[in-house]
Structure 1
């Protein structure tokens, strides 16, 4: 499932949600100090620091929903990504790494400025209204044609999953087929067997046995797999 563009917001709001639960349990007001919450907060921040990447910030910045009136009005503390200091710093680092040519990078910055501030071709009524109504990838397909470089990046990133679990499962299948006892197969034959094995498991989801099995542990990704 393509969820890379949701990770930053989820982590950003997680601390506040955890704080709310802990303070409610301890019957404290918002301004009071909670030693337990401070310990949990440090753990969460440390974890986010380890797993966060520049792409999380860039993908968040390219999601039109986070510039919409609907999303911003849900919480008075929210700001659009182009007004967030941390996001801006990380996004600029990402652009510098992605675009070596200064002229190309300048054009991308102009495209991003028009997109984020609703200027030029992004200023039409449908483009602004659809920010809060359409999914991010569909929005870029429909309205991103006038920012071709940024559109290309957005479509790649907004289609990315936030987990490598699908790859891990594929490697597990590969190791099951290419084992110590079966180690003389050519890479092409092994690849074909992995392909057949994985697709047979997908096809089995249509069988009556699959629907009757409550655990479905033998499936590739259970019912969450699209």
Structure 2
């Protein structure tokens, strides 16, 4: 299983830490701790998480997922030093949200465009009459879409503006607008000038080219429909390729975006469990685009060594791995190959890995893992209602 934790502050300004446990059977709430009186040092956080691992049972826990703040990272390193077979993994949803935050704050075009877009939506939604006028032209569609995270919401809102571009322009050209009191003040003229600015709409598209591939990955890691561990490595690579292609391969346009992604992905998110999930996912391993680098192979074997801790078992699994790579035994059967895309990766191993029992068990444990602690966030409001 995975222990997930995340902190939040309630209406009384108490600092609450939620602890949940995710397994193939789903996510269950374990406990909440009022951490208001505890200084958020690595030592204190380590002690709290370590106590939870003890409560769940170290033999049951494969990873602990938290956000990737410096104190949590330090606590995670301390935890792995004590619990030799356990991984600390930063929350993938939080890491991707930080990528989106970096895009918004570090790329001037993104910062300015999101600011202008926010000005439009804030202005319209603060006035009931304008909301009614908007809905006439958009046929009831809204300009704001809430995302899984704060910075996802910024880009999803830009997407809504782009989708309703024609309706917005028609609204500001309409008789209802030009004859209204709103069209005559300074603020209203500023908003109208943004909506009618062709450059603004071009810049919206440029922002979305960079952000949409990341939003796709964010939706995947935030979903509980299927475990994401077997897909995140490939999806992050694919996201970068889609960004490059969206900018027609012009390096001056996409390399700065890649640098922002790599700063988070390479330094924080890229982990041995992600490499093992990539390697053992039959949907990816048997695809024509499967690539294995030295670094990925190194992380895969580090994961195997850490989770088993048995040299003889690793040797046995390594022999079995050759059969998986070359599609020998049941791996190469027509029924197994046909089921690659109809079953989740863990289900596939459960169905067709019986002749390679040790590798099967290892693969199922990895591929059933979540990548995010976002399940904790979905419990904030519920907990607050109960605790109050």
TM-score normalised by the chain length of structure 2: 0.38
How far did 1:132 drift? 4.7
1:19 aligns with 2:244: yes
Q: Residue in 2 aligned with 1:148?
A: 357
Q: Equivalents in 1 of 2:326, 2:346: separation in Å? A: 19
Q: Residue in 1 aligned with 2:285?
A: 67
Distance 1:175 1:164, change over 3 A: same
Matches within 5 A, 1:93-112: 93-112=302-321
How far did 1:172 drift? 5.8
How far did 1:171 drift? 5.9
1:56 aligns with 2:274: yes
Tell me the C-alpha RMSD between the 2 structures: 2.3
Q: Residue in 1 aligned with 2:259?
A: 42
Given candidates 10, 28, 37, the residue that maps to 2:235 is 10
Distance 1:96 1:172, change over 3 A: farther
Q: Is the 8 A contact 1:127 1:143 kept in 2?
A: yes
Q: Residue in 2 aligned with 1:79?
A: 290
Higher strand content, 1 or 2:
2
Q: Is the 8 A contact 2:278 2:285 kept in 1?
A: no
Q: Is the 8 A contact 1:67 1:131 kept in 2?
A: no
- Paired positions, count: 162
Q: Equivalents in 2 of 1:4, 1:51: separation in Å? A: 12
Instruction: Please state whether the residue corresponding to 1:5 is helix, strand or coil.
Output: coil
Q: Equivalents in 1 of 2:360, 2:332: separation in Å? A: 16
Q: Equivalents in 2 of 1:12, 1:91: separation in Å? A: 17
Q: Is the 8 A contact 2:323 2:331 kept in 1?
A: yes
TM-score normalised by the chain length of structure 1: 0.63
- Provide, for residues 152-182 of structure 1, a one-character-per-residue CA deviation record: whole Å limited to 9, x for no partner: 2222232223221113334664465446xxx
Structure with larger RCO (C-alpha < 8 A, sep 6+): 1
| Bigger Rg, which one | 2
Q: Residue in 2 aligned with 1:216?
A: none
| Unaligned 5+ runs, structure 2 | 1-223
Given candidates 116, 120, 123, the residue that maps to 2:325 is 116
Distance 1:22 1:140, change over 3 A: same
How far did 1:6 drift? 1.2
Distance 1:40 1:109, change over 3 A: same
